[in-house]
């Protein structure tokens, strides 16, 4: 779908799209588009369009961080797999080399690695809206999005 078709009918008179951003969900799952116009941001996901006027943005934050819940869950799975494998539990001792023990540790390792991967995102807080908009993507695109929003907010103020 082209940029004009996605935003056709939503642009105000005199409003022009200045930049397009491809952003993604956590761990690169799913993707969507963000368009920066001279007046607002459009966030277009599969079945929804959200627009955020620059002067309604209360704050914007550019961050990169690891996922601590994923790290903790991964470690729990890994430790549980090792405990079952090396210590065994009485009658369960003969099952310690079964496939599920290895699967438990493999899942733990994958979740741990995903948790350690640093994810970059922009957090947009909109005045009067309870939900914070979190846009994940690559650092260069997020830096540009951050700068555009900061510039537009300072022009509006």
User: Is pLDDT of 77 > 90?
Assistant: yes
User: Is pLDDT of 6 > 80?
Assistant: no
Q: Predicted confidence band at 47 (pLDDT cuts at 50, 70, 90)?
A: confident
pTM across the whole model: 0.65
Q: pLDDT tens across 86-106, in order?
A: 776 555 555 546 777 888 899
Burial class (CB in 10 A: 0-12, 13-18, 19+), 9: exposed
The rounded distance, in Å, linking the Cα atoms of 86 and 75 is 16
Residue 61: φ, ψ to 5°: -135, 135
Q: Predicted confidence band at 1 (pLDDT cuts at 50, 70, 90)?
A: very low
The per-residue pLDDT for 4 is: 56
Domain ranges of the chain: 3-66+118-156, 68-116
Residue with the larger pLDDT of the pair 24 and 100 = 100
Beta strands in the chain (DSSP E): 17-24, 31-37, 40-45, 48-53, 57-65, 119-126, 133-136
- Helices (H) and strands (E) in the chain — how many of each? 4, 7
Q: Predicted confidence band at 5 (pLDDT cuts at 50, 70, 90)?
A: low
Q: pLDDT tens across 101-117, in order?
A: 888 899 999 999 988 88
User: Is pLDDT of 27 > 80?
Assistant: no
Residue pair 153/36 in contact (Cβ under 8 Å)? The answer is no
The per-residue pLDDT for 90 is: 54
- The top-level CATH class assigned to 3-66+118-156 is mainly beta
Residue pair 141/149 in contact (Cβ under 8 Å)? The answer is no
Residue 11: name the closest of 45, 36, 46 by CA. 36
User: Is pLDDT of 156 > 60?
Assistant: no
């Amino acid at each position: 779908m082209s940029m004009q078709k996605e935003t056709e009918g939503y642009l105000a008179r005199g409003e022009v799209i200045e930049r397009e951003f491809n952003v993604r969900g956590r761990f690169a799952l799913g993707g969507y588009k963000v368009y920066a116009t001279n007046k607002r941001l459009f966030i277009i996901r599969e079945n929804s369009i959200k627009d955020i006027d620059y002067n309604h943005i209360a704050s914007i934050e550019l961050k990169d961080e690891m996922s601590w819940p994923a790290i903790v869950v991964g470690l729990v799975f890994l430790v549980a797999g090792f405990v079952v494998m090396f210590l065994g539990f009485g009658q369960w001792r003969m099952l310690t080399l079964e496939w599920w023990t290895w699967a438990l540790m493999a899942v733990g390792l994958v979740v741990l690695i995903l948790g350690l991967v640093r994810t970059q995102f922009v957090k947009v807080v909109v005045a009067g809206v309870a939900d914070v908009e979190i846009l994940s993507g690559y650092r260069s695109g997020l830096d540009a999005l951050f700068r555009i929003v900061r510039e537009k907010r300072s022009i509006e103020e």
